[in-house]
Structure 1
Amino acid sequence: MFVAHSIAADHKDLIHDVSYDFHGRRIATCSSDQSVKVWDKSETGEWHCTASWKTHSGSVWRVTWAHPEFGQVLASCSFDRTAAVWEEIVGESNDKQRGQSHWIKRTTLVDSRTSVTDVKFAPKHMGLMLTTCSADGVVRIYEAPDVMNLSQWSLQHELSCKLSCSCISWNPSSSRVHPPMIAVGSDDSNVTYGGKVQIYEYNENTRKYAKVETLSTVTDAVHDVAFAPNLGRSFHVLAVATKDVRIFKLVPLRKDSSSTGPSKFEVQLMAQFDSHNSQVWRVSWNITSTLLASSGDDGCVRLWKANYMDNWKCTGILKGDGSPVNGSSGQSSTLSAALGSGTSQGTLNAVGGRNSKRTPFTPPLRRFTSPKIYHQPAYY
């Protein structure tokens, strides 16, 4: 059973994204009203808006947190063709500001010629790196050489994807066996052109990223992609949100010991679900990659879980108001997520489980105006 209560977001337009921080105690929201808001969870479990500021001169599509090892840092991207990096500073200059925090812009990334559609920080073990993708079909990877000076970012790589880019996901694996890897999704509407998801891998010898795989069976517009946490697997798992939910398995083929070229993969479709009967906007994994959450235009959040035979099943459905569908209770107690309802009224839904303090999902949602927070009572 899930319990819901609402948050008065006070955004003046549609909310496009919500992001939990690493510990699940803070939420950032962004909106077409050109602002970003930060919400902190109190000891009583209530969420309070602790900061709100104008970030861009156009709709803000995405907002994301850096790992707390680098401080309280946010990145946002916008229709205004820019991405920005923000840092929270605790005022100490005078008695009035002492102990109070405020967010300041550290840099604006202006390389894109069109709308910047997604922004993601790289996994912590790679250092402080930031990736953006744009409607101009270019993925850009930036690095902060000095983590103490976030005003300096250098453009390290530009990847031309040939198609308009809508979403990106880093492979979180920290294994030395797996080079850094990025999945890029395209929302190009031309269904005759396959390969709307492309996989890029870093080559240590050339010190460049190269395309190693194209998921040619994905022909519809892609709205979100999400690599599952690896946890020591020899293969990779990627979820794709398009007009349905798809889960792919990427198995690296054994390379010759003298080979220095890009990796080759065997791509397997593990599962495909059209239960939303509509566009799917977000997909998100739990920390153990045993549970996938998806949200779509049907106004529902659906939870997917694999059994011991590796067969994926729907284990729970939540409507926009948090109530279960068809008696489903959302059985997985490890769920911790912010999920979008996709209803015409637009609500922000956050679902929490026993691990919600340490293992929050990235929120799968699209557009909404008045947040709701869901949590599963800890009666175990």
Structure 2
Amino acid sequence: MFVARSIAADHKDLIHDVSYDFHGRRMATCSSDQSVKVWDKSDDGEWHCTASWKTHSGSVWRVTWAHPEFGQVLASCSFDRTAAVWEEIVGESNDKQRGLSHWIKRTTLVDSRTSVTDVKFAPKHMGLVLATCSADGVVRIYEAPDVMNLSQWSLQHEISCKLSCSCISWNPSSSRAHPPMIAVGSDDNNVTYSGKVQIYEYNENTRKYTKAETLMTVTDPVHDIAFAPNLGRSFHVLAIATKDVRIFKLIPLRRESTTSSGPTKFEVQVMAQFDSHNSQVWRVSWNITSTLLASSGDDGCVRLWKANYMDNWKCTGILRGDGSPVNGSSVQGAALGAVGSGGAQTQNSVVGAASAGRKKAQLMPG
């Protein structure tokens, strides 16, 4: 049986995002109260707030962790048109703060003219690379050339998506057969624009990102998007949160030698589509093996989706925002990933914060 646990997050306004670190032992939350909080999981399974600070001068939409290979590093983005990078510093032995940690701002990224709606670190094999997207329809990709100096970031790419951007997801595949790839979702309300999800791929020859695919069947505003972890697959799996939950399979087509310089062409298949939330879906997130997808929506529930051996996806569990199971549904905790922007590594899931925003975070320990 799978149970939920409530955390008194003590944010003064709506919580917009929850993110786990790589190991699932730390968690960050962000809110319209302009703050970010960091939580650490103790040995007894309890979560304790170890840091809280004002990060921006507007609502903080997203917070995300870098890979721990680069230290304890967070990025946040806000309605104030900026993104920021934060690093945890542990006090030196001669410091009166000895052994105590504090978070300091390493840089502010100020290129956007409008609200910065999402921020994501690239897979670690690409180095310390950060992507942002904005309501101005531009995805910006930054790189820290010296990972020991996080105050220096250079803008490497600007991708114009034509539609206001709401969310981004890096393809995590480290296969040489798969160039760096980023998916972008738009929450544009104009129904005359179809294709609210665009996929861009890095071209080694031109050293630019070019559009490889547009998912024309996605016509409603997109709130979240998540590539599944790729454990040696030749194809890619992408989950989308819109007015329902959709799972797409992107199968790279074999290149003809004459067109080898262009972006990869894909066969796009819809693997699954669920409207069980009967409302807007706000977050989707995979577990580390990409066998389980969690989604949260305005119905106040987290729903868990799993494929059987025939590749048919079914709901395997439902939990309400207050943590109570629906219709006695139970889930094996060991299989569960996180709902929130990061932490597919962890066996905890977040309900309340990942929905339209609550002042308490709901945890479901595995």
Bin of the TM-score, shorter chain as denominator length: over 0.9
Q: What residue number does 1:149 align with?
A: 149
Shift in Å, 1:93: 6.3
Q: What residue number does 2:268 align with?
A: 267
Map Cα deviations across residues 308-334 of structure 1 (whole Å, 9 max, x no partner). 111111111111122221221124631
Opposite residue 309 of structure 1, the aligned amino acid is M
1:69 alignment partner, SS class: helix
Which aligned pairs between 1:1-380 and structure 2 lie closer than 5 A?
Answer: 1-92=1-92, 94-258=94-258, 259-331=260-332, 333-338=334-339, 356=346, 364-376=354-366
1:333 alignment partner, SS class: helix
Shift in Å, 1:280: 0.3
Could you say if the C-alpha distance between residues 252 and 351 of structure 1 is closer, same or farther in structure 2, counting changes exceeding 3 Å?
closer
Could you say if the C-alpha distance between residues 25 and 209 of structure 1 is closer, same or farther in structure 2, counting changes exceeding 3 Å?
same
Query: Contact 1:300–1:317 at 8 Å: present in 2 too?
Result: yes
For 1:336 and 1:283, the matched residues in 2 are separated by 10
Query: Contact 1:295–1:339 at 8 Å: present in 2 too?
Result: no
For structure 2, the residue ranges without an aligned partner over 5 or more in a row are none
Could you say if the C-alpha distance between residues 154 and 339 of structure 1 is closer, same or farther in structure 2, counting changes exceeding 3 Å?
closer
Query: Contact 2:248–2:271 at 8 Å: present in 1 too?
Result: yes
For 1:134 and 1:329, the matched residues in 2 are separated by 39
For 2:358 and 2:193, the matched residues in 1 are separated by 31
For 2:97 and 2:164, the matched residues in 1 are separated by 44
Shift in Å, 1:222: 0.2
Opposite residue 174 of structure 1, the aligned amino acid is S
Query: Contact 2:131–2:139 at 8 Å: present in 1 too?
Result: yes
2:125 alignment partner, SS class: helix
Farther off after superposition, 85-94 or 300-309:
85-94
1:62 alignment partner, SS class: strand
Query: Contact 2:89–2:102 at 8 Å: present in 1 too?
Result: yes
Map Cα deviations across residues 207-227 of structure 1 (whole Å, 9 max, x no partner). 100001000010000000000
Map Cα deviations across residues 209-257 of structure 1 (whole Å, 9 max, x no partner). 0001000010000000000111111111100100000010111110023
Opposite residue 367 of structure 1, the aligned amino acid is G
Shift in Å, 1:193: 1.3
Which one has more relative contact order, counting CA pairs under 8 Å at least 6 apart?
Answer: 2
For 1:61 and 1:368, the matched residues in 2 are separated by 13
Opposite residue 32 of structure 1, the aligned amino acid is S
Could you say if the C-alpha distance between residues 49 and 9 of structure 1 is closer, same or farther in structure 2, counting changes exceeding 3 Å?
same
Q: What residue number does 1:347 align with?
A: none
Shift in Å, 1:95: 4.4
Could you say if the C-alpha distance between residues 332 and 249 of structure 1 is closer, same or farther in structure 2, counting changes exceeding 3 Å?
farther
For structure 1, the residue ranges without an aligned partner over 5 or more in a row are 341-349
Farther off after superposition, 238-247 or 3-12:
3-12
Opposite residue 189 of structure 2, the aligned amino acid is S
For 2:302 and 2:113, the matched residues in 1 are separated by 35
Map Cα deviations across residues 288-311 of structure 1 (whole Å, 9 max, x no partner). 111111000001111111111111
Query: Contact 1:145–1:152 at 8 Å: present in 2 too?
Result: yes
Query: Contact 1:186–1:196 at 8 Å: present in 2 too?
Result: yes
Same amino acid, percent of matched pairs: 84
Farther off after superposition, 201-210 or 92-101:
92-101
For 1:309 and 1:282, the matched residues in 2 are separated by 26
Q: Which runs of 4+ in 1 moved over 3 A?
A: 359-366
TM-score (norm 2): 0.95
Q: What residue number does 1:344 align with?
A: none
2:5 alignment partner, SS class: strand
Query: Contact 2:203–2:263 at 8 Å: present in 1 too?
Result: yes
For 2:337 and 2:196, the matched residues in 1 are separated by 29
For 2:304 and 2:107, the matched residues in 1 are separated by 38
TM-score (norm 1): 0.92
Opposite residue 200 of structure 1, the aligned amino acid is Y
Query: Contact 1:24–1:360 at 8 Å: present in 2 too?
Result: no
For 1:368 and 1:360, the matched residues in 2 are separated by 15
Opposite residue 274 of structure 2, the aligned amino acid is F
Map Cα deviations across residues 56-109 of structure 1 (whole Å, 9 max, x no partner). 000000000000000000000000000000000011163421111100000000
Farther off after superposition, 108-117 or 305-314:
305-314
Aligned length: 364
Shift in Å, 1:336: 3.2
For 2:46 and 2:349, the matched residues in 1 are separated by 17
